[in-house]
Amino acid sequence: MRRWNGWGDDSDIFALTDDARAFVRERVGDGVPSTDATREQALKTVPESRVKSPLFVTDAATRLDRSRGQSFPDWIAMRSGRMGPYADGVAFPTTHDEAAVALAEAKKIGAIVIPYGGGTSVVGHLNVPAGDQPVVNISLERMNKLLKLDETSMLATIGAGTPGPQVEALLKPHGYLLGHFPQSYEYSTLGGWVVTRSSGQQSYRYGRIENMFAAGRLVTPRGELDVGGMPASSAGQDLREAVMGSEGRFGLLTEATVRVRRLPEREDFHGVFFPSWEIGLDAVRTMVQSDVPLSMLRLSNEIETETQLALVAGHKTALTWLNRYLRLRGIGQGACMLMIGVTGSEIECNHSRHRALDIAASFKGAHVGRFMGKAWAKNRFRGPYLRNALWEAGYAADTVETAINWNKVTPLMRAIEQTARDVLGKENEKVHAFTHLSHVYRQGCSIYSTFVFRSTGNFEGDYERWRKLKSRLCETMVEHGGTISHQHGVGVDHAPYMPAEKGALGMDLIRAMAREFDPQAMMNPGKLFV
C-alpha cells in the first residue's frame, strides 16, 4: 500500500548501507530521529465534515490521504501527525461530465475546490486553507482510461488522473510511449503534469509536458473550455498556455490529448567523467548547441558525483577500479559525472552516441561505458525512497530547482550551495548540499540541488530550519535571474517570489485570467498567486 506519510509502497524499503550512514554522519553529524505519529493518531485529528452531499466521500481516511503533498512542510506535518486542515469531502468523478457535476455541486454548496491528481506536489499545491468555508477535493484518480488513439497523427487522449506507469501501460500494447518520466513518475498524473508544467528526466528527447500537451478539456466554474487540437496556429493566444501552469485555479483538467511516439528500438545510458565541473558544463552546452539528438544529459557536480558513488553506486570493488581508471585518465579530485541518454532507432542511436562521445572526448571526458548508466536507469525513480531512509536515521532532506541561461549557471549553482551552508552555519549546523543539471536547452539548463541536514527531532524546529533555508534559497535564485521553478510549479511555497519573475502587470494579468474562469474565487485559493 502507498505510504500515508512518506514516499512509495510501504513494502518497498530503501536501506542505508553502513558506508552510506558513515558518509552522511561525517558530512553533517549524528542524526536526530523523531518519533513519528501513527496513522491512528493522525486520523483522530480529522474533524467532522461540513458537507453533506452524496457526491462527496467524507470518511476520515479518505480525507486524510488527500490532505497533503510531498513538500517539506507536508512531510513533517505527516510525520508529526499534524496534517490538518482537512478537506470536508472528496469526489471521485469517472467521466468529464461527472467532473462537471461535481464542480457544479461544490459551487452550489459554496465549497472551495482543490483538484487532486497524484498528490506528489512539492510546493504546497494541495494545502487546505483554514476558514469557515467548506473545502472539497475533486480527485481525478478514476479518470484513468485511454479514450482515443489517432495513430496517424500520433495523438492519444487520456483521462487526466492517469499516473505515469499507467499512461505507459495504456500506450505500450499499441507500440507507443509518451516518454514523460519525472522522478515522481510512479504516482504523479497526466493532469498534474500539465497544470504544473512538469518536466521529465528525458525532456531533451520527449520535451517538457508543454511540448506533449496537444489539447485538453477544462471544466471551470464558468463552463467548459476546450483548448488546442491543431498542430500549430497563429490565431491569437494559444489557450493551452492558460491551462498549463494553472495549478487548479482555473478549473479541472479532465482529459488531455498528448503527442506520443513509437517505442524506441533502443535505449542506453552512458557514463562519462570530466576532470571538473566547468569542463563538463562546457561539454554539455556544446552537445546541446550542436543539436546532438540525445534523450538525456545529466551532469552531477563534484559533490553530487562523490555522494552518488558513496550512497547508491553499490559494489566497493567496482568503485575502486573506477577510481583507478579515472586517475589513469587524469581525473581525480573534482571529477564530475555526466549521464548521457541515447534513445531511438539503431541508426539514430549510433549517430548520436558517436557525436556525443566525440564531443565528450574533446573535453577530456572519460567514457566509462554503460555499467554506470545501467545502475542509474535501474535507480532512476529511487531517489525519493532515500528520503524515507534518511528521515528514519534522523536526517531531513529537501531540494530546490531552477533554470537559468548558460552564462549564469555556475555562479548560481555555487551560490545556491553556499547559501544553504551559510544559513544553517549560523546555527552551527552543517548542510550537505549537492547539485546536478538535468534539463538542457540551447539557451540554458535547469539546476537541481539537494540538501541533507540534521533533523531537530520536532516539528517546530524542523519547520524553522526549512523556512530559513527555503526563503534564502528562493531569494538567491531570483536575485541571479533564475526562474522560481523549472519543474515543480508555484503552489504556496513559491508564490511570494512570483512578482519578481512576472512583474506587477504580469501578476495582474494572471489574476485577471483567474477571475475570468472563476469569478467567485472558489478554485484552489492561495496557490500560484496571493
Ligand X SMILES: Cc1cc2nc3c(=O)[nH]c(=O)nc-3n(C[C@H](O)[C@H](O)[C@H](O)COP(=O)(O)OP(=O)(O)OC[C@H]3O[C@@H](n4cnc5c(N)ncnc54)[C@H](O)[C@@H]3O)c2cc1C
Positions marked active-site? 448
Three-state DSSP class for 259? strand
Which is closer to ligand X, CB of 28 or CB of 158?
158
In the bound complex, what is the minimum distance in angstroms from residue 144's beta carbon to its own copies? 23
Cell of 370: 554503460
Which is closer to its own copies, CB of 30 or CB of 265?
265
Which is closer to its own copies, CB of 290 or CB of 320?
290
Residue nearest to ligand X (CB): 192
For its own copies, the binding residue among 20, 444, 474, 518 (CB under 8 A) is 444
Judged by beta carbon distances under 5 to 8 A according to partner kind, the member of its own copies, ligand X, none in contact with residue 133 is none
Judged by beta carbon distances under 5 to 8 A according to partner kind, the member of its own copies, ligand X, none in contact with residue 432 is none
479 binds its own copies (CB under 8 A): no
Judged by beta carbon distances under 5 to 8 A according to partner kind, the member of ligand X, its own copies, none in contact with residue 124 is none
Task: Tell me the C-alpha distance between 34 and 472, whole Å.
Answer: 26
Q: Give the relative orientation of helices 383-392 and 72-80 as an angle to the nearest 10 degrees.
A: 40
191 binds ligand X (CB under 6 A): yes
Judged by beta carbon distances under 5 to 8 A according to partner kind, the member of its own copies, ligand X, none in contact with residue 244 is its own copies
Which is closer to ligand X, CB of 34 or CB of 70?
70
- Chain centroid to Cα 239, Å, comes to 24
Question: Do the Cβ atoms of 63 and 90 come closer than 8 Å?
Answer: yes
Binding mask 399-438 for its own copies (x = CB under 8 A): ----xxxxx-------------------------------
Judged by beta carbon distances under 5 to 8 A according to partner kind, the member of its own copies, ligand X, none in contact with residue 494 is its own copies
Task: Tell me the C-alpha distance between 270 and 149, whole Å.
Answer: 33
In the bound complex, what is the minimum distance in angstroms from residue 222's beta carbon to its own copies? 6
Cell of 86: 482537512
For its own copies, the binding residue among 285, 432, 465, 470 (CB under 8 A) is 285
Question: Do the Cβ atoms of 181 and 380 come closer than 8 Å?
Answer: yes
- Sheet strand arrangement including 135-139: 89-91, 135-139, 112-116
Question: Do the Cβ atoms of 433 and 493 come closer than 8 Å?
Answer: no
Which is closer to ligand X, CB of 53 or CB of 184?
184
223 binds its own copies (CB under 8 A): yes
Which is closer to its own copies, CB of 1 or CB of 512?
512
| Sequence-ordered alpha helix ranges (H) in 264-370 | 277-289, 302-311, 316-328, 346-362
Number of Cβ atoms within 10 Å of the Cβ of 225 = 17
Terminal alpha carbon distance of the chain: 36
344 binds its own copies (CB under 8 A): yes
284 binds its own copies (CB under 8 A): no
Site for its own copies in 255-274 (CB under 8 A): 259, 261-262
41 binds its own copies (CB under 8 A): no
In the bound complex, what is the minimum distance in angstroms from residue 466's beta carbon to its own copies? 20
346 binds its own copies (CB under 8 A): no
To which residue does cell 553506486 refer?
Answer: 313
Three-state DSSP class for 453? strand
Judged by beta carbon distances under 5 to 8 A according to partner kind, the member of ligand X, its own copies, none in contact with residue 114 is ligand X
106 binds ligand X (CB under 6 A): no
In the bound complex, what is the minimum distance in angstroms from residue 350's beta carbon to its own copies? 10
Binding mask 87-126 for its own copies (x = CB under 8 A): ----------------------------------------
373-392 core/surface letters (b: 16 or more CB in 10 A; e: else)? bebbbebbbebbbbbbbbbb
The answer to whether 121 is annotated as binding is: yes
126 binds ligand X (CB under 6 A): yes
- For 155, counting Cβ atoms within 10 Å of its Cβ (0-12 exposed, 13-18 middle, 19+ buried), the class is middle
Which is closer to ligand X, CB of 243 or CB of 366?
243
The answer to whether 120 is annotated as binding is: yes
180 binds ligand X (CB under 6 A): no
Site for its own copies in 123-162 (CB under 8 A): 150, 152-155
For ligand X, the binding residue among 120, 157, 202, 455 (CB under 6 A) is 120
Cell of 410: 555556475
Which is closer to ligand X, CB of 163 or CB of 373?
163
Instruction: Give the chain's radius of gyration (CA, Å).
Output: 23
Which DSSP string corresponds to 416-450? HHHHHHHHHHTTT--EEEEEEE--B-SSEEEEEEE
Site for ligand X in 62-91 (CB under 6 A): 69-70
485 binds ligand X (CB under 6 A): no
| Sequence-ordered alpha helix ranges (H) in 68-173 | 72-80, 96-108, 164-171
225 binds its own copies (CB under 8 A): yes
- Chain centroid to Cα 510, Å, comes to 23
With a CB cutoff of 8 Å and minimum separation 6, the contacts of 474 are: 400, 484, 494, 496, 497
In the bound complex, what is the minimum distance in angstroms from residue 270's beta carbon to ligand X? 21
285 binds ligand X (CB under 6 A): no
Nearest of 231, 60, 48 to residue 155 by alpha carbon: 231
Three-state DSSP class for 466? helix
Nearest of 486, 440, 421, 420 to residue 280 by alpha carbon: 440
253 binds ligand X (CB under 6 A): yes
Three-state DSSP class for 513? helix
Outline where DSSP puts E strands in 93-248: 112-116, 135-139, 146-150, 155-159, 176-177, 213-220, 223-228
Give the interface with ligand X as residue ranges (CB under 6 A).
7, 69-70, 114-122, 125-126, 140, 160, 182-184, 188-189, 191-193, 195-196, 198-199, 247-248, 252-253, 384, 487-489, 524, 527
Binding residues for substrate, as ranges, are 387
Binding residues, as ranges, are 115-121, 196-199, 387
